[in-house]
Amino acid sequence: MVLKINIEKTLIEFETRFKELEQSNEELRSQFKYFEEKIREREVETKEKQKIINELPLGIHDDNLNALNKGLDRNE
């Protein structure tokens, strides 16, 4: 009888833990979907910015990069 009670108690604990894990899994899936969407948004932003940079007249972004590198050299 004691063994049966212990088995039933263990089964209830396992069921409870299983439900907790299912809920946690759903929360993680939700977070994962959120981060996937944020990554897609950033990819679109990056492509748009890269398109703007590529459309700049030649040399303008190179000059800005050179100025930035000179500024970094002074800080070293």
- Per-residue pLDDT tens digits for 20-32: 999 999 999 999 9
Spans of all domains in the chain: 2-75
Question: Rounded distance, CA 2 to CA 8, Å?
Answer: 10
Question: Rounded distance, CA 4 to CA 11, Å?
Answer: 10
> If pLDDT is split at 50, 70 and 90, which confidence band does 76 have?
very low
Alpha-helix residue ranges (DSSP H) falling in 2-59: 2-55
Per-residue tokens: 45: 């932003």
* Residue partners of 39: CB distance under 8 A and separation at least 6: none
- Per-residue pLDDT tens digits for 16-63: 999 999 999 999 999 999 999 999 999 999 999 999 888 877 655 566
pTM attached to this predicted model: 0.55
